[in-house]
Amino acid sequence: MENIPKLEKKIGVIFKNKDLLLQALVHRSYINENRDFRLDHNERLEFLGDAVLELVSTEYLYKKFPDHPEGDLTNFRAALVNSKMLAEMSGRLGVEEHLIMSKGERKDTGKARQYLLANALEAIIGSIYLDQGYRKSKKFITDNILCEMERVLEEKLYQDPKSEFQEKAQEKTGITPNYEVLTERGPDHNKHFVIGAYLEKELIAEGEGSSKQAAQRAAAKKALEVKKW
């Protein structure tokens, strides 16, 4: 409990019920090893926080972009609240140093750690909602997540580079791109892929990522730059 005040200061919320914030930090793996711990793990809070986050972000986008169709709003939301973005926000708030998890889980890095950080942030949102209501949780989400909308637009994070590369390639060359794994390394829980984006047999660009999908997207994004499309 000694670290709770430090985290409260970082997230800008002083809890009435400190146990709600503490529970948001408890990973299932810790409970599996410490059956007598007085609180449950954070998955129910994560479930609640995910719903609050979706409502707040959807309301924000609906009001901010009155002339955009549903498809655009869906893409904006996906870019704004995906696990990568949430993990980044979680990192900025220093949530990781407060997480309560097993020694084995603490060793995991890469994609597994990204999901853990993202889930913890959603659990914190759920705990704020239960402790202080919708208005306070909305303020937390606005201050820490919705503020990234400008970057989403500037960097076009809402676009799927694979779809864009395919459209441009078919339009300009009549060829549908294909992808091949060039290298693959690491254990199952922390894989690293290098994938090539091809137009027929011509290698246009390479991309790296912790999943095949992420590496394909990186390769497609690089290919668009190489082709200047």
Non-local (6+) Cβ contacts of 226 within 8 A are 204, 205
- Is residue 187 packed enough to be buried (19+ CB in 10 Å), middle (13-18) or exposed (0-12)? exposed
Report CA-CA distances (Å) from 12 to 82, 120, 181. 22, 16, 44
Helix extents (H) in the chain: 4-11, 18-24, 28-33, 43-64, 70-80, 83-92, 103-107, 111-132, 134-144, 149-154, 161-172, 212-227
CA angle 189, 141, 120 (to 5 degrees): 30
Please give the distance of CA 99 from its chain centroid, rounded to a whole number: 17
List, in order, residues 6 or more apart from 188 with CB less than 8 Å away: none
User: Active-site residues: which are they?
Assistant: 50, 122
